[in-house]
Amino acid sequence: MHPFTYTKAADTREALNAARRGGRYIAGGTTLVDLMRETVERPSSLVDISALPLREVTVTKSGGLRIGALVTMAEAAAHPKVRTLYPVISQALELSASAQLRNMATIGGNIMQRTRCTYFRDVTADCNKREPGSGCAALHGFNRAHAILGTSGECVATHPSDVAVAFAALEATVHLLGPDGERRVPFADFLLRPGSTPQREQAVRQGELITAVEIPALPRPLRSGYLKVRDRQSYEFALTSAAVALHVRGGVIQEAKVAAGGVGTVPWKLPAVELHLVGERSSESLWAAAAERAAEGARPLTHNGFKAELLKRTVERQLRTVGGTK
C-alpha cells in the first residue's frame, strides 16, 4: 500500500476544503481500501466523511424518497419507507455483497464503486480503465462476466452495483455538493459508459460530494421487485438482473420502469421493454414479448454469448413475478 494522509472531516465545509486540496472521500471504505491494498488506487490523501450528517431516509414533499449518501446498505434495505414504497430497492440491496459489507458500505459509496473486472484488479494486466492507453486484456481474454451492452473498443467491464439498477429503473436523481454549490444529476447521466475514456466512471466533478439519492414519486399502487441471477446464491455479482416496477390500474399497465444489471457497462435501462408494456393488459404472452426486446443492441464477446438469452429470461421472469397475470 502506498503512503497516504488521513483526515476526518467534522462537517461538510471541512470535507469540501480537504477535497479541494486533493483529498479522496472515504466512508465505509469497502471498495477503496481493497483497491488501495492491491495498489490499483493510490490516493495520497483520504478525507473520512463518515461523521457528516448524511444519514437520513426521508419522504419528500412530492411523496418520493431521499436516501442520504451515508445511509448504509443495511439501513436502507431495512428502512420501513424503503420497504413499503420501493421494495425493488430493498431487494437489490439485500441480494448484494455480504451482511458484514452491507453494514459498512454506504449508498453513496455503492454507486461510486468500481468494476469487478479481474483484469482491472490485477496490476500486471493491461487495462485502459486503470492505466489509460494500456489496452484491454478482457477483450480477447476470459470475458464470461463482462458486458454485452454499452461497450466500447476500450472497455467491456460491467457495472457491479445491484441497487444502481433499481435507481436506474426508478429514474432516481443524484444530489451533489461541490465548491460551486449544489447540483442534481439524473441517474441516467450519473454513471458513464466507457467510450474512449473508460477511466471516467461517474459524472462527479473534482471535490464534489454525493449528499443523497432521490427517488421520484411514482403513481400508486406500485408493485416492484428485483431478480438477480448469479453463479452462486450468495456473495456473488450478477450475471444478469432485472429491476421492475409496474403501476397497474383497471388491469392495464399505466407505467413500467425496467432496468437490467450484469449486462451493461452501466445499469441498463430498457425503454423498449417499458414501451411494449404500457397500455397493455398483463398476460403471459405480454411478458414474453416485452422481454424479447431486452437484449436489443447486444454485442456479445467470445465467452458471454449466453447473456443475451439469459437477460431476456430474467426480465420475463421478473415481469411475471411483479405483474402477475391478472
33: Cβ contacts below 8 Å, ≥ 6 apart: 26
Q: How far apart are CA 263 and CA 150, in angstroms?
A: 9
Burial of 2 (0-12, 13-18, 19+ CB in 10 A): exposed
Three state DSSP letters for 33-82? HHHHHCCCCCCCEEEECCCCCCCCEEECCCCCEEEECCCEHHHHHHCHHH
In the complex, the smallest distance separating the C-beta of residue 262 from ligand SF4, rounded to whole angstroms, is 14
Q: Which is nearer to ligand SF4, 4 or 142 (CB)?
A: 142
In the complex, the smallest distance separating the C-beta of residue 137 from ligand SF4, rounded to whole angstroms, is 5
* Helix-helix angle 163-170:87-94, to 10 degrees: 160
Q: Which is nearer to ligand SF4, 87 or 198 (CB)?
A: 198
In the complex, the smallest distance separating the C-beta of residue 120 from ligand SF4, rounded to whole angstroms, is 4
Q: 186 preceded by cis ω (within 30°)?
A: no
Q: Which is nearer to ligand SF4, 159 or 320 (CB)?
A: 159
Q: Which is nearer to ligand SF4, 55 or 144 (CB)?
A: 144
Amino acid identity for residue 141 in this structure = G
Q: Which is nearer to ligand SF4, 17 or 197 (CB)?
A: 197
Site residues for ligand SF4 per CB under 6 A: 115, 117, 119-120, 127-129, 136-138, 155-157, 198
In the complex, the smallest distance separating the C-beta of residue 144 from ligand SF4, rounded to whole angstroms, is 12
- The answer to whether 46 and 23 have CB atoms below 8 angstroms apart is yes
Q: How far apart are CA 155 and CA 49, in angstroms?
A: 31
Grid-cell match 458500505, residue found: 105
In the complex, the smallest distance separating the C-beta of residue 143 from ligand SF4, rounded to whole angstroms, is 8
In the complex, the smallest distance separating the C-beta of residue 257 from ligand SF4, rounded to whole angstroms, is 28
Q: Which is nearer to ligand SF4, 90 or 128 (CB)?
A: 128
Instruction: Indicate the helix (H) or strand (E) that contains 290.
Output: helix 284-291
R_g of the chain computed on alpha carbons: 20
Q: Which is nearer to ligand SF4, 75 or 154 (CB)?
A: 154
- The answer to whether 9 and 48 have CB atoms below 8 angstroms apart is yes
